[in-house]
Structure 1
């Protein structure tokens, strides 16, 4: 089966696990002037990121606020992972947060760090007053999918054919199919918001969270 992105969701009204990072690790948001750290982590995790990408990809985005972009630092204070607590109300509604750019550099993989970052950001999104968190993941990234399932995430269907994809995923993982909503819930097609974006509004003196 060809690779594609699938969506997963977790309802924050349910009890979800607390993030537990290995001793010495610290997961914290970065200010705009530290965007070069994000660029470095993204390049090490995914490749093809360069100087200036933080401004282009993250800052020039409706959802950007400094406290939404997080970097994971190891016991030696070196950056080793990243994830961001985004929001796309024109696609998923005002009540939903969206976690993007979840990445761990190769030397720190296999420790469950991505899952802990995601769980930590679930709490960030919950404090914003949103009650559902979505993320997307490659359908062939079975370790990530399994870890998200273990954390309480369920499939979120956006197209009919994704039912078969999830059945294939469960078979590959050798687990019983999960009980999840079979309702097809594609992203809404509302227009992308024009400026001012959230950071613009904050800079104008508005209280933006």
Structure 2
């Protein structure tokens, strides 16, 4: 009897060792495959070109998003955006395209200048319950997106102003700059002005 217990314990220890070695081997093979695939991907001559194109498309998409969102300090632009988005949303909802319709209505509500509870009560009565629930779930994300886009828009304007000022102060900067360079230039100009103010 005790011999059977000893053999089963021995078999369990051997099984644990085999399992540990198998897991380690699988992990090593997976890591090796990842390294191989990454090297193969990076050595592809079209990789950098595709990467640049993807980044260019992303930048164009962000610029298009920024151009659609109104300046929240301009009441007329906000009102026009609100009316356009609400109208688009209503049209899409009547056509049965609930996902896009909810997106547009959520955009309109996110910039709505008056208290939202009144508008939400009207929408709750007008929309089917699942669509209204989807709208409520989407509102926080859309509001955050609009706030982020507004701050990015302000960053772009500030960076463009810094680049213009840098080109005036340093004419050798005639080449076009991307946003990253513009932000760096903005910091350099700020530091330079701070030093000049300390001296004066």
Shared fold (TM-score, shorter chain, > 0.5): no
Where on the TM-score scale, by shorter chain, does this alignment land: which range?
under 0.3
More strand by share: 1
More helix by share: 2
Higher relative contact order (CA 8 A, sep 6+): 1
